[in-house]
Structures are given as structure tokens and as C-alpha cells.
Structure 1
Amino acid sequence: MDGTFLDLPGGRRIAHALTRGAGPGVVFLCGFHSDMTGTKAQFLEERARARGRAFLRFDYTGHGASSGEFAAGCIGDWARDAAETIAALTEGPQILVGSSMGGWIALLLAREMPERVAGLVGIAAAPDFTEDSIWVGLDDAGRARLLAEGAVEMPSDEDEPWPITRRLIEDGRERLVLRAPLALPFPVRLLQGSADADVPISVPLRLMAHATSADLRLTVVKDADHRFSAPANLDLIDRTIEELVGTISADGPGE
């Protein structure tokens, strides 16, 4: 199913894998420079298929098998990809599962299309990271070079550094979610590792402090890192989704 594409306006071709089944469906939102072939996405797809539950995973533009160049994209582009892909391929409210940057994308979708969100799971969610991590982490010379030249390179765990563009930073500033009240009128579960070197525990605590939600819980897992992909971590994500399904079935979406 990984060879399926959705054509969207502007010549975007979104690679995706859709498993049809019962609702509420689950939508996996990948992280920055990640793709839908990762461990968490495929594991959760297998669990959803075994239960007969609808599941969608996909690549943003410039990621994985989708069209476009990574360096040309920004948070707004990827949030638009997510919104239009969900609208085109799913029906009814969905459980959004956002990993790292995908957690920020999930929160943007919750703000912009809450009627399509039944519940939200953030896995090491990284809202506002372009401002609070990347921009803050640059020294004066790095910031000056980014503004003057339009891009800098950021070290990564991969073979090549990641390009960080001025457009990414400036667009991210237009889409911050931790600076103003954020209504989350559905069950929310945040999963965070105590050994996460990329997203500190202060981030989910900050989200909890200002989000408006009648059912928002944070689970901190000792020694789990940012990938959150150890077998026990994967089982926790799966149990968390199933717990949300039970809550939604009992109370109805958005209650």
C-alpha cells in the first residue's frame, strides 16, 4: 500500500497507506524529516488492522515518497498537507497520533478543524520547536547568517545535516500554539520519555498549563528517549489509543 498517492492542489503528490475499517480512525502524523515507514507508524498500522480499525499514515511534501523538496517546506505547508489528506481520505472524527513535530501538526489541526478530531495522542510532542529549540539554539552569528543567506545547516543523527531555512522559522512564528489559550475539547494523552534529549519535560508541562481540556493526561516513562520506539513504548502507545477509543465510545467525540 506504500505506493499509493493522493494528488492535491499545487502539484503535490502525497504518498500514503490507508487501512479501511471501523471508526474512529487513527491518523499517524510523522515528525520532522521523518516518514510513514518508521517503526511507530507501521506498528500502529498492524495493531489497527488486527482490530479492524481504520488507519492512515502518510508523508508530508518533501518527506519520504511524497513530492517536493524538504528544504522548501515549512510547518504551514505540512499542516495543510495533513488537513487536506485527512479530509480526502477519512470520514468522521479521527484520533490524531502525532510524533515529535507531528504533535505540533496535530495541535494545529485541533485548532483549525476540531470537528474532525475525536482524540489526540502526542508522542514526545514538539510544538513551537522552530522557535523554542532551533531559533533559541542558534548563536548570534548563526541567526545573522540565517537571515542574510536564507538558510543554515543543523547537525542531525543522519548522514547529512538538515537545512534550516528562514522561511521555516518565520512561518513557524505564525503558527505557534504555546503562546495563547488552546481549546482541546476531546481526550488528550501526552507520552513523554524522561531521557528525551530533544524535547524537555517542560514542553508537555507548558502545554498542560495553558490548554483547555476536560480530559488531558501526561504519562512520563522513565529512561525512554525521543524515539519512543522500544517495545514497551510501542505497547504503551497502542494501549493509550485503545483507552481513547473506549473513552470516545462511552462519551461520544468531544465530550
Structure 2
Amino acid sequence: MVQFLTTPHGRKIAYHKTEVQGPCVVFLGGLKSDMEGTKAIHLEAWCKAQGRAFLRFDYSGHGESSGRFEEGCIGDWHEDSLEAVNTLIDGPYVLVGSSMGGWQALLLAKAQPDRLAGLVTIAAAPDFTEDSYWAGFSDDQKAALESVGHVELPSDYMEPYIITKRMIEDGRKNLVLRSPMTFDCPVRFLQGTADTAVSTDTAIRLLEHAQGDDIRLTLVKDADHRFSDETCLKLIEEAVLDVINLSR
């Protein structure tokens, strides 16, 4: 049964939590995704079978949480993530971030390094508002951001995204690839080579930027951005189990 958390910013965050042994595995979804996605549900079932604590939730403007997507930005969703782990979890956690959730996981890791027991990302998209959206905008699109306040971008996976001027400007305040990023826990980056939303170049850039004693990137030939077929789901399980076992 879905539960709700009200943040200090007045946002109602929908979540599901399984109370078992820790460290708690936290799934962070992608842009315009929700906690009912294939990876989130599969990982929850796997954690239950393993006897592990698990948390999935919807950012504001996503799924069953309050607000409209067009009103949100990276910083808002980081606040939602912080409130979720601070209020709903005691002790260490393992973050599993998919796409934009990978960026959110990196922001959480920087904010709370002492609580991070392990990190797994799936097609992580750090800094995409700047390096993908803004860098790819035409002069007309940049002008529309100023005059209209937003642009529409097509998606291979759902209806067009509404990208606002606020999202672009806020994204610049939350960039993670422009400053040092060091991990004291095991880290696993997963990436499909057929991903049309996040390139392998992004995954390699993240790998080269991140510093730590146990950081690995796994490239999966022909896997797309969903990364949710049987083989990919098994790889996610193995990565999560790997970082949990190594964190002990």
C-alpha cells in the first residue's frame, strides 16, 4: 500500500518501503518515470526475497506524488530524495539510480558520503540539463526558453518532455562532473551500448571522473535505455549484491 511523506517544502512524496534488514536499498527513478517501473518493482521483489530493506518513491511531479512535472527541477528532486532517506531510513543505504536517478544518486552520495554503503547506476545521466539539453539547443530553442519559458523535446520512450528555463538554470547549480567526486564505497556503473538517451561516452566520462578504490563500469552490448530485460535485471541484482557484500 502506498504511503505519503510530506516534506518541509510542502510536497507530498509517495513511497513504498519494505522493513527488513539493512543496509536499505533505495531505488531512484528517471526523469518522468515513476516507482511502478519494471526495474523498481523487480528490485523490490528481489530485496524481499533476500530479506533486505528496500525503498522506492516518486519525486514531486512524478507518479503519485504531488505537483506537476513542469514545475520541478533537479534541485527539487534532490530535496525530495534527501527528505526520503533522512525521514524513512536509519543508518546506511545502497543507492540504485536509473538515468536521471543516477544524477540524483550522485548528488545524495556527495551530500551524505558517511551513509553511503554502495552505489549502482543504470544509464546514469549526470549533468544532462547542461551537457545534453542546453548544449544541443538551437538558437531558436534558447530564444524560446527566454521568451516562452520552456521548450518541448521529443522522447523515444514517452510523450515530449517540457524543459523549462528553471530546470536548465537549476541544473547548473547541481552539476556533479565539474568538481571532484570521491567514493569510499564500492561503485558499479551499468550502461547499454544501444542506449539512445544516454551515450556510452557519458558512462566513460563518469567512470574517468569518479575516484575511489573500487569503481567499475559494465557495458552491455545492444541493451537500450530501459535496461529491463531478463539479462539486464539479473545484472542489476548482481551489482547490488556485489556492493552490499563488499560494504561489510
> Which category describes the TM-score, using the shorter chain as reference length?
over 0.9
Q: 1:1-255 residue pairs with structure 2 within 5 A?
A: 1=1, 3-157=2-156, 160-249=159-248
- Tell me the distance in 1 between the aligned counterparts of 2:226 and 2:189: 14
Consecutive aligned runs of 4 or more in structure 1 exceeding 6 Å deviation: none
- Tell me the distance in 1 between the aligned counterparts of 2:160 and 2:36: 21
- Tell me the distance in 1 between the aligned counterparts of 2:57 and 2:118: 19
Letter of the 2:203 partner, please give it: P
Structure 2 spans left out of the alignment, 5+ residues: none
The 3 A distance-change label for structure 1 pair 160 and 193 is closer
- Measured after TM superposition, the shift of residue 185 of structure 1 is 1.6
Letter of the 1:136 partner, please give it: A
- Measured after TM superposition, the shift of residue 52 of structure 1 is 0.9
The 3 A distance-change label for structure 1 pair 192 and 159 is closer
Cα deviations by residue, 1:162-198 (Å, 9 ceiling, x for unpaired): 2100000000011111112112221100000011111
Structure 1 spans left out of the alignment, 5+ residues: 250-255
- SS state of the match for residue 9, structure 1? coil
- Tell me the distance in 2 between the aligned counterparts of 1:11 and 1:176: 25
Comparing 4-13 with 93-102, greater Cα deviation is found at 4-13
The 3 A distance-change label for structure 1 pair 102 and 242 is same
Aligned length: 248
1:252 is aligned to none
Cα deviations by residue, 1:224-244 (Å, 9 ceiling, x for unpaired): 001100111001100111111
- Measured after TM superposition, the shift of residue 214 of structure 1 is 0.9
- SS state of the match for residue 134, structure 1? helix
Comparing 159-168 with 121-130, greater Cα deviation is found at 159-168
- Measured after TM superposition, the shift of residue 158 of structure 1 is 5.5
- Tell me the distance in 2 between the aligned counterparts of 1:96 and 1:102: 9
Calculate the TM-score normalised by the size of structure 1: 0.95
Calculate the TM-score normalised by the size of structure 2: 0.98
